[in-house]
Amino acid sequence: MKRRTGLLVWLLAFAAVLTAQPALAGGAWPRGKDRGFVSLSYSGSGDVLGYAQHLYAQIPGMEVPEFTHEIGFYVEIGLTEELTFGVDRYYRPADETFGATWFIRRNFTLTRLPGSFGFEFGLGGWRDWRGIDDTQFRAGLSWGQGFETRWFDGWVEIDAKLGALDKARSALWKLDSTLGIKPGERSMLYLQMQSGAIDGSPTYTRAVPAYVMKLGRGISLESALLLGVRNDDNNGMKLGLWAEF
């Protein structure tokens, strides 16, 4: 049971570091030459229902479900109009796990297909819940398309990534599908459906509805819910501060 739980924690943590970037930093679109983006976030998630039941029943001998606290840091810098360099890092203080990926992304369009595409390659360090340090590789392909209506503008994006750990000899895939709208100049709403799996484990699905409010001078505040849908009992929330320059 502990082995299975540890594997699930590893899967969810690795999935987070594969696609931790916020919607505004969607991989389908280039950052642009000499432009930058920084995000600092905090998220907390766990078995909320189990925790509530423990508080209500107070069953002797029952362990209190643990919550996972995570700090995320993400940076993008546009080297050219099509080439973007960045770093994607997270840290979990309780078990001292972390992941840090340096990546390069090339964006492009195809004449016969709508939208914008992005291809990404990343390399970095990783430490799992057992304290084992490893090297992680990741490659990604994304597609995005903006749209306009008489009421609001919006966008859709599909972001697929493959990751691998060197020492563990493990592979993971992740697929995020995002639908976002901009009701006004100072706000954005989006829903992201996340799914993935590691090696032969069952595929999980998570829903992330979010609201982003622009505060001015390139600063935005993001608030989101993390809702487990399938093979994921964790629920929680995320707060993020974005800066464009």
What pLDDT, in 10s, does the model give residues 184-243? 989 999 999 999 998 888 999 999 999 999 999 999 999 999 999 999 888 999 999 999
pLDDT digits (tens, 9 = 90+) for 35-69: 999 999 999 888 766 655 655 566 555 565 677 88
| Burial label, 111 (beta-carbon count in 10 A; 0-12, 13-18, 19+) | exposed
Q: Is 68 left (phi over 0), alpha (psi -120 to 50) or beta?
A: beta
Q: Which domain holds residue 140?
A: 2-244
Q: How many domains does the chain have?
A: 1
User: What pTM value is reported for the model?
Assistant: 0.83
CATH at 180:
2.40.160.40
